[in-house]
Amino acid sequence: MCLGVPGRVIDVQGFTATVEFWGVRREIRLDVVDEPVAPGDYVLNHVGFAIRRIPEAEIAETLALYELLLREAEGDMMAADVRGEIEASSTGPVP
Amino acid sequence: MTPEVAVAGETTDLRFRDPARARGLARALERLCAEIGRERVSVMHVCGSHEQAIAKFGLRTVLPRRLDVIMGPGCPVCVTDLPEVDEAIVLAEDGVVIATYGDMLRVPGTTRSLAEVQADGGRVEVVYSAAQAVELARDTTDQVVFFASGFETTAVATAAVILDGPPPNLSVLSAHKYIPPVMEIVAEMPGTRVEGYLAAGHAATITGWGIFERFVERHGIPVVVAGFEPLDILAGLVELVELIRDGKREVLNAYPRCVTRDGNRNAQAQLWRVFRATGGRWRGIAHVPNGNLRLRDEFAHVDARRRFAIDVRRLWTQAPPTLAQLCICGDIMAGIRSPKDCALFGRACVPESPVGACMVSSEGTCRIWHQYGGHPDLRSLSPHDSDRLP
Ligand code: SF4
């Protein structure tokens, strides 16, 4: 649950941002992150909130790690946790 | 991206992105443990993601034989106490809509779980975030209670949603826990050997590594903050074992690309504006002073414990399930025993029909060990291993 998930900011509207996760677009809240966030930035997100702006130099390494996890099958626990973090940014209960 | 390469040697299926570095770190650990010279060196981590990575990538197979890396109380769902689950069950039985994280559904209460209440027609909804609980409340006129679990990292999100002014029919039943106090309790427990702590990187992203300084001062046990990538964990262990060898009582940050001394102050401000730390029981472990996060008086209007008169005693007239009494989850989280010491592990207790909370949550030690091959450590993990299983 504390794995979080990185995503690229597409658009910012006040305290909400549209963030893209490997082609999937979701709404993320910006109330918690402690730096200004702009389109093009990468943020680390946990339960629907950006908790950190990822510095330029670390983006590639961070994405590579998560891609390694996401290549795992549906049943893999770490992959499922990362997918859950992406789902956290959609609205409404899980169907 | 660097392709995955298996590390050759006695290990199997080790997929490091930089195997040469992994080998170097493993050798450094071997050398450090030899220099310490004792039969056993024990360190504890307190993060489900750390255990997932350690088990998934088979890290224990490259660790020195005499180094024990034990998972402590790093699973928030697992430490949710029975009466806390009972509170949610009573509310659901009384017709309130319960919104909660998926892992909470099958966590046993005193006599049953939320999943069983749901099967009997209770309205229990799975959400991935506090914001989804808000959406759920907006779509109905019924009372919705967000049964909130998680450590401080997750509690921040609950706090932000509360500060945002949720709809009047939403309230929060907080089972949020605060990690630093339990590290103190577990470090002092008889039977637990913690010579150093590996602290969770993403939690420290928010709290900063500075919060561990007081702990180190009081207990003389070093702390190293580490990320959850296999190489980050190995690098963190090298720094930790080095501190143990040198008898240094310090906090080191082995995850500087994510963690600063002060952490995310904005998040901390929101967390402590909404919550206060109070004492409470952590399931199977102990009463932990300041270990529970509860809503401050200012937010009494969104506190489910104030909105509803929750009387859980009616559940306690029924007999608890007999198998549950054999669960040693608490001892496992205190680092005293391992899942292999549980006679039910992999037999009567499996992820499909869990007996204890540690087999329910994806952050629970039993569940993680079960998924990644029963016992991922091919060496004897702890001196308490009794190999009761064939
Ligand atoms: S295997 Fe099941 S019963 Fe045994 S300690 Fe783990 S959760 Fe409890």
In angstroms, the CA A11 to CA A27 distance is 10
Average pLDDT for B96-117: 95
CATH 3.40.50.970 fits B77-179+264-316, yes or no: no
Given a cut of 70, whether residue B76 has pLDDT beyond it is yes
Average pLDDT for B295-299: 98
User: Given this model, what pLDDT does residue B327 score?
Assistant: 94
Average pLDDT for B145-150: 97
Nearest atom in ligand 1 to the alpha carbon of residue B331 is 5
Given a cut of 50, whether residue B12 has pLDDT beyond it is no
State whether residue B269 sits within 8 Å of chain A by CB: no
Give the residue from B97, B33, B93, B38 showing the smallest Cα distance to B62.
B33
Average pLDDT for B70-98: 96
CATH code, residues B3-73+191-253:
3.40.50.11750
User: What ipTM did this prediction achieve?
Assistant: 0.91
Residue ranges of alpha helices (H) inside B106-178 are: 114-119, 130-138, 152-163
Give the residue from B158, B147, B143 showing the smallest Cα distance to B97.
B143
Ligand 1 centroid from CA B285, angstroms: 14
pLDDT per residue, tens digit, chain A (95 aa), is 578 999 999 999 999 999 999 999 999 999 999 999 999 999 999 999 999 999 999 899 889 889 988 888 778 888 988 999 998 876 645 54
User: Given this model, what pLDDT does residue A91 score?
Assistant: 61
User: Given this model, what pLDDT does residue B82 score?
Assistant: 92
The size of the A-B interface in CB pairs under 8 A is: 133
Given a cut of 60, whether residue B377 has pLDDT beyond it is no
Set of chain A residues whose Cβ sits within 8 Å of the Cβ of B372: 77
Average pLDDT for B268-285: 96
State whether residue B202 sits within 8 Å of chain A by CB: yes
Q: Which amino acid is at B163?
A: L
How far apart, in Å, do the first and last CA atoms of chain A sit? 19
* Higher-confidence position of A31 and B2: A31
DSSP-derived pairing of the beta strands A16-21 and A5-13: antiparallel
State whether residue B362 sits within 8 Å of chain A by CB: yes
* Higher-confidence position of B181 and B6: B181
Give the residue from B175, B10, B181 showing the smallest Cα distance to B80.
B175
Give start-end residues of each CATH 3.40.50.11740 domain in chain B. 77-179+264-316
Given a cut of 60, whether residue B5 has pLDDT beyond it is no
H/E stretch holding B203 reads: helix B201-207
Quick count: other Cβ atoms within 10 Å of Cβ B217? Answer: 10
Q: Which amino acid is at B339?
A: P
Point out the residue among A67, A88, A94 whose CB comes nearest to the CB of B1: A67
Residue B379 confidence class, pLDDT cut points 50, 70, 90: very low
Would you call B183 helix, strand, or coil by DSSP? helix
Mean pLDDT of chain B: 89
User: Domain locations in chain A?
Assistant: 5-88
Residue ranges of alpha helices (H) inside B246-328 are: 265-274, 304-307
Given a cut of 50, whether residue B260 has pLDDT beyond it is yes
In angstroms, the CA B125 to CA B143 distance is 13
- The dihedral through the CA atoms of B185, B189, B222, B206 has a sign that is negative
Entry pTM: 0.90
Ligand 1 centroid from CA A76, angstroms: 20
Ligand 1 centroid from CA B361, angstroms: 12
Answer whether A89's CB lies under 8 Å from A49's CB. no
Is B132 close to A91, i.e. CB distance below 8 A?
Answer: yes
CATH 2.30.30.140 fits A5-88, yes or no: yes
Answer whether B146's CB lies under 8 Å from B130's CB. yes
Q: Which residues line the pocket of ligand 1, CB cutoff 6 A?
A: B 327-329, 332, 339, 342, 344-345, 349, 355-356, 358-359, 366
Which string of DSSP letters, residue by residue, matches A4-27? -EEEEEEEEETTEEEEEETTEEEE
Instruction: Provide CB contacts within 8 A for B135, sequence distance 6+.
Output: A91, A92, A93
Ligand 1 pocket mutation pick from B78, B332, B341, B386 by most atoms within 8 angstroms of CB: B332
Would you call B120 helix, strand, or coil by DSSP? coil
Q: Which amino acid is at B114?
A: L
Q: What percent of chain B has pLDDT over 90?
A: 79
Set of chain A residues whose Cβ sits within 8 Å of the Cβ of B368: 77
Residue B290 confidence class, pLDDT cut points 50, 70, 90: very high
Give the residue from A50, A19, A65 showing the smallest Cα distance to B255.
A65
In angstroms, the CA B38 to CA B25 distance is 20
In angstroms, the CA B200 to CA B224 distance is 9
User: Given this model, what pLDDT does residue B372 score?
Assistant: 85
**pLDDT tens by residue, B310-321:** 999 998 888 878
Residue B359 confidence class, pLDDT cut points 50, 70, 90: very high
User: Given this model, what pLDDT does residue B378 score?
Assistant: 43
Helices B179-188 & B212-219, crossing angle to 10 degrees?
10
Kindly provide the b/e burial profile for residues B316-351, where b requires at least 16 CB atoms within 10 angstroms of the residue's own CB.
eeeeeeeebeebbbbbbbbbbbbbbbbebbbeebeb
